Amino acid sequence: MHRALITGGTAGIGAAFARAFAGRGTALVLVARDPERLDETAAQLRSEFGVEVETLAADLSDRAAQQRVADRLETAVDPVDVLVNNAGFSVRASLLEEDLSEHDLGFEVMIRAVLKLGGAAGRGMRERGHGWIVNVGSVSALVTQNNYSAIKAWVGNYSESLGVQLSGTGVQVAALMPGWVRTEFHSRAGIKGSSIPGPLWLDADRLVEDCLRDIARGRPVSIPSKRWKLIAAVLRTTPRGLVARLSALLSHRRNREK
């Protein structure tokens, strides 16, 4: 039986991954901070899909919790075949802020935890000769708005670097780089999204299916939908000065939505 461990697996993209794998008969290990929501999500998935669902309550901003999840990834008992590093949140604090607490949380959850869990999963999967690791990044990595953009740029580079180190082991690594997705992510961050044109929004279930097809084909980067592939291609070839001006415009519009 295949088994997938998903961080942030009770909401948004993480929940979409959970549904996608459960629909394929894959056993799940769901990781999230809220024990009650974990139990509710697990019960719903068991009832709807008839799959085994293990829960692991862990706040990934805490290093002891990171270690507990890493230990689960490395164990040979009921081994994990797929890791989805999805847990995250918007970091909107200014880079000029004296208080770095929001930035520190972002680093712990979306950089250190990704590094820690990716390494643990990679070691275990390499030993068994197969596995998938999906790190959820963002197309925002291609602009220069804030520390969230910088963090997601790290996620993309890290994913491709991990893929290089695991080349030839049977372990596939992919960075998922979506654009704007209709989930609770934006509302939790206080972002209304009213200035974002409707066609640019993505459906979480659809983008997960696109991602799973991409990683099955060995693609190191998955950018869901033709429109976001085009946007990413344009951003990658645009002079950095113009990217900076675009980033400033996007930041100004977002700040107006607060």
CA distance 8 to 41: 11
Q: How far is CA 235 from CA 141, 218, 228, 246, in A?
A: 10, 23, 10, 10
Task: Check if 158 is active-site.
Answer: no
Helices (H) and strands (E) in the chain, counts: 10, 7
CA distance 235 to 140: 10
Residue of 21, 49, 148, 228 marked active site: 148
Report the catalytic residues: 148
